[in-house]
């Protein structure tokens, strides 16, 4: 039989651990400190161990508390997910699709997709969370998400029963500070930027797209000098606006450029440099997920 008091105690334990203070945790929970303190003491008594070191400055996890916390957080999250799924069933929602997406997908593709899918499948709920491309395959394999709209991740997705379909290619562009002498050009040969200093997203964010850009540079005779790294392509563009650095990003991000120069790039023969912008990754075990993926594929020509 489920011990509902223990479930509540574990939830309160995770909040106190996150806040590092009984007072801040109580304020966050909308309760007074004495009852919260008693809940924690009761949990410690039931478990037969001390979970926190108390001091005037707050609380710190004991070694036992540190070991228990990740498991407690996972358990609490599972219970919250179960509660949400029960609520959805009572509201007539029969399916839930969890979509992981990078910023570009969230701003450019998902609003239209969610609107169209919601009209066609009103009994299906879509939950979106922001992820980075490198983590997409693991999240899919572990069942944390059902679909990913990301830049090309590391190869190997086929080994874990996940399909991968490129759904959007793009022209590689340079983002230049507005004061740069080339900022007003219509197009540029990538090789003309060989002496520039670059801001790139970290390779760990999307290894394959990082390697694609580096490969494009090498193909025209140089390896970019990387002076700064960010956690997304959008952040690369933002960095250009407040520095003298240059970014190399997909053309579809042009609306984030603001006053910066945003110029399509070509190889030395004048041909546009094409990169993979967005890849659809999905698990293949759910009809609702496959219906969503088919809508993505049907609409890719319009994006």
- Mean pLDDT of each 10-residue bin along the chain, 303 residues long: 82 94 92 93 93 91 94 88 77 79 84 90 87 83 87 54 82 95 95 96 86 94 95 91 94 90 95 87 80 84 49
62 shares its domain with 106: no
pLDDT of amino acid 156: 45
154 shares its domain with 179: no
What is the DSSP-derived secondary structure letter of residue 193? G
153 shares its domain with 106: yes
Polymer length in residues for the chain:
303
CATH number for the domain spanning 111: value is: 3.40.190.10
In 3D space, the residue among 242, 266, 263 whose CA is nearest the CA of residue 253 turns out to be: 263
Look up the domain containing 263 and give its range.
168-275
Q: What pTM was estimated for this model as a whole? A: 0.60
114 shares its domain with 156: yes
Distances (CA, A) of 290 to 152, 232, 282, 287: 20, 28, 8, 5
13 vs 6: CA distance, rounded Å:
10
What residues contact 290, with CB distance under 8 A and at least 6 apart? 282, 284
Distances (CA, A) of 173 to 47, 65, 233, 246, 265: 58, 49, 12, 10, 5
pLDDT of amino acid 284: 66
pLDDT of amino acid 171: 93
The total number of structural domains in the chain stands at 3
226 vs 237: CA distance, rounded Å:
14
85 shares its domain with 123: no
132 shares its domain with 96: yes
Out of 60, 89, 118, pick the residue that ends a domain: 89
75 shares its domain with 19: yes
192 shares its domain with 159: no
pLDDT of amino acid 2: 63
pLDDT of amino acid 92: 66
256 shares its domain with 175: yes
* Backbone angle region of 211, left / alpha / beta, with phi > 0 → left and psi within -120 to 50 → alpha: alpha
């Amino acid at each position: 039989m489920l011990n509902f008091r223990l479930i509540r105690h574990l939830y309160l334990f995770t909040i106190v651990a996150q806040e590092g203070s009984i007072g801040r945790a109580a304020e966050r929970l909308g309760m007074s400190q004495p009852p919260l303190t008693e809940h924690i003491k009761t949990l410690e008594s039931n478990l037969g161990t001390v979970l926190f070191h108390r001091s005037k400055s707050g609380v710190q996890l004991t070694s036992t508390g540190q070991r228990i916390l990740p498991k407690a957080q996972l358990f609490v999250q599972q219970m919250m997910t179960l509660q949400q799924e029960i609520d959805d069933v009572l509201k007539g929602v029969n399916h839930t699709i969890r979509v992981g997406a990078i910023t570009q997908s969230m701003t450019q593709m998902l609003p239209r997709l969610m609107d169209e899918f919601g009209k066609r499948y009103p009994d299906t709920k879509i939950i979106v969370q922001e992820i980075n491309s490198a983590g997409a395959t693991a999240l899919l394999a572990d069942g944390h998400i059902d679909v990913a709209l990301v830049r090309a991740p590391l190869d190997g997705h086929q080994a874990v029963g996940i399909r991968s379909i490129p759904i959007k290619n793009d022209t590689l562009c340079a983002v230049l500070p507005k004061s740069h002498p080339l900022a007003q050009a219509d197009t540029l040969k990538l090789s003309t930027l060989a002496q520039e200093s670059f801001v790139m997203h970290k390779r760990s964010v999307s290894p394959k797209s990082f390697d694609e850009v580096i490969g494009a540079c090498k193909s025209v005779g140089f390896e970019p000098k990387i002076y700064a790294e960010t956690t997304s392509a959008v952040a690369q563009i933002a960095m250009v606006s407040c520095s003298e650095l240059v970014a190399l990003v997909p053309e579809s991000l042009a609306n984030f450029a603001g006053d910066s120069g945003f110029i399509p790039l070509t190889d030395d023969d004048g041909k546009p440099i094409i990169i993979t912008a967005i890849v659809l990754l999905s698990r293949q075990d759910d009809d609702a997920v496959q219906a969503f993926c088919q809508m993505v594929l049907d609409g890719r020509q319009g994006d």
